[in-house]
Amino acid sequence: MNVHSQAAAAQSDDGIALGADLLHVDNISLSFGGVKAIQDVSFDIRKGEIRAIIGPNGAGKTSMLNVINGFYHPQEGIISFKGRERRRMRPYEAAAQGIARTFQNVALFTGMTTLENIMAGRSLKMHRNFFWQMLYRGPALNEEMEHRRVVEEIIDFLEIEAIRKTPVGQLPYGLQKRVELGRALAMEPTLLLLDEPMAGMNLEEKEDMSRYVLDVNSQLGTTIALIEHDMGVVMDLADRVMVLDYGKKIADGTPDEVQANQAVIDAYLGVPH
């Protein structure tokens, strides 16, 4: 599938129109023992947008991504994805439904090459395709080749041809983050969750990553939820921003609205509340 047909598929694979709710989170609460990581938070992600989640350290941002991709199970609340209410769901099930993610700390197989890591992101699709092909078409001889073709397209898209055979552990941090993005893209997600994709990067690496995030959104048609501390990046990339503080939602709106919100300013200045 080329980049354009992939974008078309992303827009039609679930029957959700651009701009309509793709994910709905209602009154979610999550705690770990006495720690209330998320307290009664509701928000939505619209198909086709870049949705930022921001907030001070420990605000519950990563926990929220972990709830969305089925890694944590909230004690309270309801999640709907593609219009379907979701019961307890494991990460592989969320992945099969089209949710992929990258991690706050790079999570790659450091001894494996760029190509192998991105192929690994494809494994879920392989199993699913294998199953369907056995049922309807018999074993597909070309399956491996087809996966390789998609992976090569992603490598092309992210401009990492030069490092395709390099073990990931030998790459600078900024490139490792890009490979991790490639691994998530190999799942051809409807919703891509990025947990601080630019953390620890220098300015040039941040600019590169920003461009790839924008390209993924506009050229592949992928909806993106992004956690990011760099306010400049958030303001440049995000259509809408949700702000968490101590597990609670304190603001939600356009970047300009959120930036001017007094509760947000107080949270970032550490004003007690």
Ligand X SMILES: Nc1ncnc2c1ncn2[C@@H]1O[C@H](COP(=O)(O)OP(=O)(O)OP(=O)(O)O)[C@@H](O)[C@H]1O
**Which stretches of the chain bind ligand X, using CB under 6 A?**
32, 35, 37, 55, 57-63, 104
The smaller minimum CB distance to ligand X, of residues 171 and 184, is found at 184
Select from ligand X, Mg ion, none the partner in contact with residue 182, using the beta carbon and a kind-dependent cut-off of 5 to 8 Å.
none
Amino acid at 256: D
Q: How far is the CB of 57 from ligand X (least distance, A)?
A: 4
Is beta strand 99-102 parallel, antiparallel or unpaired with respect to 223-227?
unpaired
The smaller minimum CB distance to ligand X, of residues 62 and 217, is found at 62
Looking at 62, 217, 222, 223, which residue binds Mg ion (CB under 5 A)?
62
| Residues of the chain by 3-state class (helix, strand, coil), percent to 5 | 45, 25, 35
The smaller minimum CB distance to ligand X, of residues 35 and 162, is found at 35
Q: How far is the CB of 9 from ligand X (least distance, A)?
A: 32
* Ramachandran bin of 222, using left for φ above 0, alpha for ψ from -120 to 50, beta for the remaining angles: beta
The smaller minimum CB distance to ligand X, of residues 56 and 167, is found at 56
Select from ligand X, Mg ion, none the partner in contact with residue 70, using the beta carbon and a kind-dependent cut-off of 5 to 8 Å.
none
Nearest one of 212, 136, 127, 152 to 177, comparing CA atoms: 212
Which residue number places its CB atom closest to Mg ion? 62
Is beta strand 223-227 parallel, antiparallel or unpaired with respect to 191-195?
parallel
Nearest one of 191, 219, 188 to 16, comparing CA atoms: 191
Give contact residues for Mg ion (rule: CB under 5 A): 61-62, 104
